[in-house]
Amino acid sequence: MAISAHLGQFYINGAWVDPLPGATSMGVENPATEEIIAKLALGTEADADAAIMAARAAFDAYTVWPVADRIALVQRILDIYNERYEEFAQAMSLEMGAPLAWARSAQAWAGQVHIESTIQAAKDFKWEHQRGNSRIVHEGIGVAALITPWNWPMNQIACKVAPALIAGCTMVLKPSEIAPLSGALFAEVCDAAGVPAGVFNLVNGTGPVVGARMSAHPEVDMVSFTGSTRAGTAVAAAAAPTVKRVAQELGGKSANIILPSADLAAAVAGGVEGCFGNTGQSCDAPTRMFVPRVSHDTALEIARETAEAMVTGDPRSPDTTLGPVISRIQFDKIQGLIQKGIDEGATLVTGGTGLPTGLNRGYYVRPTVFGNVTPDMTISREEIFGPVLAILPYDTVDEAVAMANDTVYGLAAYVQGPLPEARAVARRLRAGTVNLNYPDWDTFAPFGGYKQSGNGREYADWGIADFCEVKGIVGYGEA
């Protein structure tokens, strides 16, 4: 069943429990239909406290489990996840409007592949080693507060829970309250896998209440947060008085430089598809495309044809390539930014404001491409988080690199062209991940940002290391 029976409860200390007095509730909306499909309990600070203290009580016993046993536990989670794979895909299609084919091949797959990668990385991880007369040891940091977003629900849950468990941490997870269905299913999986009581806990709630309490709580040793830069700064501020570790994966405005020597048709079409994947709701989406000025008009025509070939509509239809955006708030924000692009003088190539033709409900955005964008325009600087692409012309590669780096963000970047040239440009870009010629997703490469896109790195051994403290035992003697 895609909608868990436990949305009115929290998973604390190995059991589903009712919220404490003072908790409220909210409707979970299907963004494709604007219908309420479930009711979600929203916790209080007291609920967060109960989960945190359960995690604290469980830490000492769990963190000394042998690594092999922790790996076996995560393997059991993976096995049950795979058995319920279709439920996860259905849940994410419902809660965020993802086309069902995309929910299966990308959203549910992301959870699966990150758990697999973490297991493999754990087997190869250097948990301790000798350096001279000292023993260098990696061990779990403690109680981790995990705050995950709505746009890649299982990707981010898996990227936090799996390495935290492998590292020997205990944890409290707060999924996004507007896409909570898959998080509840994941808690059911952890319960069925036999995760010891208190090691994994889940509390639903809002950021300003539950998220803030988790960030500030003195018994939390680390916060791992994925979301907007605005919310990330609030998390860091709340965590600062207790000097806990804060890992953040935040916003982005990723540049896609198409070199003069690139295959223009393939590069532009691939860039449009990359930008509009997940309905443009990916923090690392290539939303700023830089093309040689002499090729600008041709690039606009390629982008228009690619965008207009996409099918926006019912996520249940096998023909749909773009579903709705997540909410009315997000829809209105995107509409305002599209209008801003028009008002500031960018060339509207295709798309624009309003619902796509033939749709009269749901938060559907017309796939939109702007040309003749300049670096000072709002659509070139602000993260839109929808299917909106800004194309900027450049005269020299040096100019393209300078414009690409002229942003407060630095999560990802993209370069298209012959490898020797693309590699050289990649080294000049200030971003945590640089993708050359639209490669396959590498779940063993580090993922995280420069500048206001965050700090820390996720995926495989990088994620495990983030949840570890490093201890030097000096005078240890020979191993």
Tell me the catalytic residues. Answer: 249, 283
Concatenate the DSSP letters of all residues of 296-340 into one string: HHHHHHHHHHHHHTS-BS-TTSTT-SB---S-HHHHHHHHHHHHH
For the chain, the residue count is: 479
Q: Point out which residues pair with 28 in neighbouring strands.
A: 38
Q: What is the 3-state secondary structure (H, E, C) of 367-433?
A: CEEEECCCCCCHHHHCCCCCCEEEEEEECCHHHHHHHHHCCCCCCEEEEECCHHHHHHHHCCCCCCE
Q: If 0-12 CB within 10 Å is exposed, 13-18 middle and 19+ buried, where does residue 424 land?
A: middle
Place of tokens 């509730």: 25
Say how far apart CA 242 and CA 71 lie, in whole Å: 31
Pick the closest to residue 364 from 374, 356, 372 (CA basis).
Answer: 356
How far apart, in whole angstroms, are the C-alpha atoms of residue 396 and residue 373? 16
What's the rounded Cα separation, in Å, for the pair 113 and 440? 13
DSSP-derived 3-state class of residue 266: helix
Residue 220 CA: distances (Å) to CA of 150, 241, 246, 249, 455: 23, 12, 11, 19, 18
DSSP 116-177: HHHHHHHHH---EEEETTEEEEEEE-SEEEEE--SSSHHHHHHHHHHHHHHHT-EEEEE--T
| Nearest of 37, 88, 100 to residue 323 by alpha carbon | 100
Q: First and final CA of the chain: distance in angstroms?
A: 52
The three state secondary structure string of 77-93 is HHHHHHHCHHHHHHHHH
Q: How far is CA 305 from CA 257, 301, 302, 331, 369, in A?
A: 20, 6, 5, 24, 10
Q: Which pair of structure tokens corresponds to residue 414? A: 């993209």
Find the helix packing angle between 153-167 and 67-83, rounded to 10°: 160
Instruction: Give the C-alpha separation, 224 to 345, whole Å.
Output: 40
- Cβ atoms of 411 and 454 closer than 8 Å: yes
